[in-house]
Structure 1
Amino acid sequence: MLTFTIRRLVLAVPTLLFISLVIFGLLQLAPGDPMAQVPLTVPPEVKQKMREALGLGDAWYIQYWKWIVQFFWVEPQVFLDYVFGTNFSEGKLRVLSWQTRSPVMEIVVQRLPQTLWVVGTAYVVAVLIALPIGVYSAYRQYSVFDNVGTFVSMIGFSVPPFFSGVLVIVIFSVNLGWFPSIYDTTHRVVDWDSFVVQLQQMIMPVMVLALQITAQIARFMRASMLDNLNQDYVRTARAKGLGERVVVLSHVLRNSMIPVVTVIALGIPQIFGGAIITEQVFKVNGIGQLLITAIQANDLPMVQTLTFIFAVLIVLFNLIADVLYGILDPRIRYD
């Protein structure tokens, strides 16, 4: 397992380099000029100096090299400085946002906690709900519970976040007045009362995100359980006199989790992209809203950095899913 993990980490390097080159190339071909928002009264020679300060006067391969070095070497040090209060990145060249003229990673780490509050909670809640629903729906196939679960899952698949988000705002915020319609990103949790306020403003965006995730994982869990419940090893376990709880939870569930692990692992980076719409609806000042703002302002350094972060997460959680395969199924050996 260790050899396989190291080999996959080594192979991830050229994969990420290729992805970064594609992202950089596509964004370089995108229309727009960062100097377009500069007032017309600014002299051309000042605009030229501004372009040089942003690194736009260099050749494309020099810009790409600087971005890669800063992303893989400087920006991780910035993250460590933010988390542990160190000063590893002090005085080093940084990737600057064209819109704010501030280092990109500093803006990202400032927005990240808001996204993790909402997206992380929604994903944990969805997984904890979806797995029991999928297991019980498969075990009680075609029962009332299974039919209701199928109906709710179809709604979760069909209703887009921009519709369900507005719907819950109208119901729970406008009509009932239970929860705030706008997420207050300036709120800080310092005591129990502030924690309750944080939970209240998280409920609606978490509800919208969790509905989609629950529907997807529950359907995969149900299908995988149904496929394993009719296998010979299940009939053998029952013939040996094992209890139904042991058969379902110890034998069937473990084998059924193998394909579901892929959905759960790969869904983590995808939900960051899916949270873009939800963050826009509830005004959550997180990574998703930052990406939308950067696209609208033609802020290429911010867009390419956030897009590449999503790509890194996908490659990383692909590796995590493959490692979990070997843990769940002893028959799978990578060495």
Structure 2
Amino acid sequence: MLTFTIRRLVLAVPTLLFISLAIFLLLELAPGDPMAQVPLTVPPEVKEKMRLALGLGEPLHVRYWKWIVQFFWIEPQVLIDHYFGTTFAEGKLRVISWQTRSPVMDIVVQRIPQTIWVVGTAYIVGILIAIPIGIYSAYKQYSMFDQAGTFVSMIGFSIPPFFTGPLLIVIFAVHLGWFPSVYDTTHVVNDWESFKLQFRQMILPVMVLALQTTAQISRYMRASMLDNLNQDYVRTARAKGLSEFVVVMVHVLRNSMIPVITVIALGMPAIFGGAIITEVVFKVNGIGQLLITALFANDLPMVQTLTFIFAVLIVLFNLIADILYGVLDPRIRYD
């Protein structure tokens, strides 16, 4: 397993470099000029100086190299300086956002906690709900519970977040007044009352994201459980006198989780993408809303960095899924 992990980590380096090059070239070749929003009263020579200050006068390969060095070398040092009080990144040039004129990663680091609060909670809630539903639906196949779970899953698959978000706002925020419709990102949790307020404002966006997660994972869990419930080893375990709980929750569940792990691991980057719409609907000041703002402002450094972060997450969770295969199934040997 260790050899496989090292091999995958080494393979991830050229993969990420290729992805970074593709992202950089696609966005650089896209139409649009960052100077287009500058007022017409600004003289052309001033616009040219502004263009040079943003690094647009440098060759394409030079800008790509600076961006890669920034992401993999300088920004990790900035994080170390931030948490440990060191000075590794002091005085080093950093990639600047065209929109805010601030270092890109400083803005991203400020927005990530808000996204993790909402997206992370929604994903955990979705998994905790989906797995028991999938297990029981498979064990009680074609029962009323199974049919109800299938119906709810189809709703979760069919209705996009830009519809469920406003719908929940109209029902629970406008008509019933139970929850706030706008997420207050400036809210600080320091006592029980502030925690209850934070919990209330998280309910609606978490419900929107958890609905999709629950719908997807519960269906995979049900299908995998049904496939394993009819295997010979299940009949053998029952013939040995093992209780039904041990048969289902130990033997069947462990083998059924192997394909579901892929869905769970690869779903984490995907739900960050789905959170883009949810963050805009509920005004969550996270990286999803930051990406939309950067796209409208033609802020290429910010868009490139955020897009590449999503790519890194996909590669990372692919590796985690492969490692978990070996943990769940001893028959799998990579060495």
Residue of structure 2 equivalent to 1:35 = 35
Residue of structure 2 equivalent to 1:216 = 216
Deviation at 1:83, TM superposition (A): 4.0
TM-superposition CA deviations, 1:13-40 (whole Å, max 9, x none): 0000000000001001111111111112
Which amino acid in structure 1 is aligned with residue 295 of structure 2?
I
Deviation at 1:269, TM superposition (A): 0.8
TM-superposition CA deviations, 1:149-184 (whole Å, max 9, x none): 111011000111011001110110000001000011
Residue of structure 1 equivalent to 2:112 = 112
Unaligned runs of 5+ in 2: none
Per the normalisation by structure 1, the TM-score is 0.98
Residue of structure 2 equivalent to 1:189 = 189
Residue of structure 2 equivalent to 1:172 = 172
Which amino acid in structure 2 is aligned with residue 266 of structure 1?
L
CA contact (8 A) 1:82 1:109 kept: no
Which amino acid in structure 2 is aligned with residue 233 of structure 1?
Y
Residue of structure 2 equivalent to 1:261 = 261
| Aligned residue runs from structure 1 range 106-185, under 5 A | 106-185=106-185
| Structure 1 position 89 matched with structure 2 position 125 | no
Which amino acid in structure 2 is aligned with residue 226 of structure 1?
L
Residue of structure 2 equivalent to 1:80 = 80
| Structure 1 position 235 matched with structure 2 position 235 | yes
The whole-number CA distance in structure 2 between the counterparts of 1:289 and 1:176 is 27
Which amino acid in structure 2 is aligned with residue 282 of structure 1?
F
CA contact (8 A) 1:265 1:320 kept: yes
CA contact (8 A) 1:79 1:105 kept: no
TM-superposition CA deviations, 1:73-103 (whole Å, max 9, x none): 0112223334445443221110100001100
Q: Structure 1 82/196 Cα, relative in aligned 2: closer, same or farther at 3 Å? A: farther
Deviation at 1:288, TM superposition (A): 0.4
| Structure 1 position 57 matched with structure 2 position 46 | no
TM-superposition CA deviations, 1:36-93 (whole Å, max 9, x none): 1111222222211111111111110000000000010011222333444544322111
The whole-number CA distance in structure 2 between the counterparts of 1:164 and 1:281 is 10
Deviation at 1:191, TM superposition (A): 1.1
Unaligned runs of 5+ in 1: none
Which amino acid in structure 1 is aligned with residue 5 of structure 2?
T
TM-superposition CA deviations, 1:266-309 (whole Å, max 9, x none): 00111111100000110101010000000000000000100000
Q: Structure 1 131/76 Cα, relative in aligned 2: closer, same or farther at 3 Å? A: same
The whole-number CA distance in structure 2 between the counterparts of 1:134 and 1:174 is 33
Q: Structure 1 218/13 Cα, relative in aligned 2: closer, same or farther at 3 Å? A: same
Q: Structure 1 328/31 Cα, relative in aligned 2: closer, same or farther at 3 Å? A: same
Q: Structure 1 84/281 Cα, relative in aligned 2: closer, same or farther at 3 Å? A: farther
The whole-number CA distance in structure 1 between the counterparts of 2:216 and 2:83 is 34
Which amino acid in structure 2 is aligned with residue 170 of structure 1?
V
The whole-number CA distance in structure 2 between the counterparts of 1:79 and 1:172 is 40
CA contact (8 A) 1:217 1:263 kept: yes
The whole-number CA distance in structure 2 between the counterparts of 1:285 and 1:319 is 29
CA contact (8 A) 1:255 1:328 kept: yes
Which amino acid in structure 2 is aligned with residue 258 of structure 1?
I
Which amino acid in structure 2 is aligned with residue 45 of structure 1?
E
The whole-number CA distance in structure 2 between the counterparts of 1:126 and 1:321 is 18
Question: CA RMSD of the aligned region, Å?
Answer: 0.9
Aligned length: 335
Q: Structure 1 181/85 Cα, relative in aligned 2: closer, same or farther at 3 Å? A: farther
CA contact (8 A) 1:78 1:105 kept: no
| Aligned residue runs from structure 1 range 317-332, under 5 A | 317-332=317-332
CA contact (8 A) 1:254 1:328 kept: yes
Per the normalisation by structure 2, the TM-score is 0.98
The whole-number CA distance in structure 1 between the counterparts of 2:85 and 2:270 is 30
The whole-number CA distance in structure 2 between the counterparts of 1:203 and 1:315 is 30
Q: Secondary structure at the match of 2:77?
A: helix
Q: Secondary structure at the match of 1:62?
A: helix
